[in-house]
């Protein structure tokens, strides 16, 4: 990213990361450059406010295109257990010394929004749900990927069990470390979207999101919330920690 920024001295600092990210996507996926963007949009790329507006509009348009081409039946690749990456990387918006420790005994998953049965769920209740496993590749926007094994309940099963309005647009998540994110309902209902309680056959260790990580193999890593404390179903766009800083919201992988 730094490399792309080096020769953009006319740009103010805070606009630069968003531009670098989006330009990288354009450049890699569509063969476009910032110069081409300037020509296409007719906007002054040295004016960060205009650039931000154009890029945000493009990103939301990109979301709607991705939602339209998302195939609810297309499966992410599953790997043999021999392909699992060890050690599996830890990542969060903070370092390993700040990993959140959630207490198992007092834990209760909170539900709100367009859900019929909003009673909170304890861990023993969650562990008693039907279980499934997957070995899939987690891809982080920061340029690494790793294969891991996660186990838990198909998210669709959970949403149906609590009487979620599956015609609503979004499912949002609030985490113990103040992280938050949200996904589209089609992805929430995808057969490989798992509410996971185990990593590599062990209860999720704190660094990988105890007590619960939503594993979404059809999306980038930052759309996979760890330490989930609350979830809600809504028609109001909920955004997310990285999404609100310019990362594309849909972010299919
Ligand atoms: N609660 C919470 N969830 C999070 C994050 C975070 O900082 N906090 N980071 C996201 C990002 S960017 C990545 S790549 C993955 C990392 O998961 P891992 O530590 O299991 O590799 O968690 C995602 N979920
Ligand atoms: Mo990430």
**Whether the predicted pLDDT of 94 surpasses 90:** yes
CATH homologous superfamily for 81-245?
Answer: Oxidoreductase, molybdopterin-binding domain (3.90.420.10)
d(CA 153, CA 128): 9
Nearest CA to ligand 1 atom 11: 222
Residues of CATH 3.90.420.10 domain(s) within the chain?
A: 81-245
Question: How does the average pLDDT of the chain come out, rounded?
Answer: 89
Ligand 1: which residues within 6 Å by Cβ? 89-93, 140, 175, 177, 179, 207-208, 221-222, 224-227
d(CA 38, CA 46): 10
**Whether the predicted pLDDT of 131 surpasses 80:** yes
Question: Quick one: CA torsion of 10, 15, 21, 24, rounded to 10 degrees?
Answer: -20
Q: Which of 142, 204, 221 should be mutated for ligand 1, with most atoms under 8 A from CB? A: 221
Tens of pLDDT, residues 145-190:
999 999 999 999 999 999 999 999 999 999 999 999 999 999 999 9
d(CA 165, CA 125): 22
> Whose atoms come closest to the Cα of 175: which ligand?
1
> Could you tell me which residue, 163 or 1, shows the higher pLDDT?
163
Tens of pLDDT, residues 24-50:
666 666 666 777 777 777 777 777 777
Q: Which pLDDT band holds residue 14 (cuts at 50, 70, 90)?
A: low
The residues, ordered by sequence, that sit 6+ positions from 18 with a Cβ below 8 Å of its Cβ are 52, 55, 245, 246
Of 152, 130, 133, 143, the closest CA to residue 226 belongs to: 152
**Whether the predicted pLDDT of 97 surpasses 90:** yes
The pLDDT value recorded for residue 19 is: 62
248 close to 63: Cβ distance less than 8 angstroms: yes
Q: Which pLDDT band holds residue 72 (cuts at 50, 70, 90)?
A: very high
Q: What token pair was written down for 160?
A: 């149906």
Q: Which atom of ligand 1 is nearest to the CA of 89?
A: 21
């Amino acid at each position: 990213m730094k490399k792309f920024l080096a020769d953009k001295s006319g740009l103010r600092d805070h606009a630069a990361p968003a531009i670098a990210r989006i330009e990288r996507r354009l450049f890699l996926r569509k063969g476009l450059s910032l110069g081409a963007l300037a020509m296409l949009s007719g906007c002054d790329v040295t004016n960060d406010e205009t650039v931000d507006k154009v890029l945000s509009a493009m990103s939301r348009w990109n979301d709607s295109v991705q939602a339209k081409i998302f195939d609810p039946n297309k499966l992410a690749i599953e790997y043999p257990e021999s392909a699992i990456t060890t050690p599996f990387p830890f990542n969060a918006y903070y370092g390993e010394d700040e990993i959140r420790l959630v207490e198992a005994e007092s834990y209760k998953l909170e539900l709100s929004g367009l859900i019929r049965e909003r009673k909170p769920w304890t861990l023993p209740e969650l562990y008693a749900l039907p279980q499934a496993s997957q070995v899939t590749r987690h891809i982080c926007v920061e340029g690494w990927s790793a294969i891991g094994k996660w186990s838990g309940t198909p998210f669709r099963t959970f949403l149906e069990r609590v009487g979620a309005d599956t015609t609503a647009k979004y499912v949002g998540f609030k985490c113990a470390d103040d992280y938050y994110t949200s996904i589209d309902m089609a992805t929430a209902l995808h057969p490989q979207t798992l509410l996971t309680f185990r990593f590599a056959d062990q209860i999720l260790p704190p660094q990988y999101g105890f007590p619960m990580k939503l594993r979404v193999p059809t999306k980038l890593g930052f759309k996979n919330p760890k330490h989930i404390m609350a979830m809600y179903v809504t028609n109001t766009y909920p955004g997310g920690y990285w999404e609100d800083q310019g990362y594309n919201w849909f972010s299919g992988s």
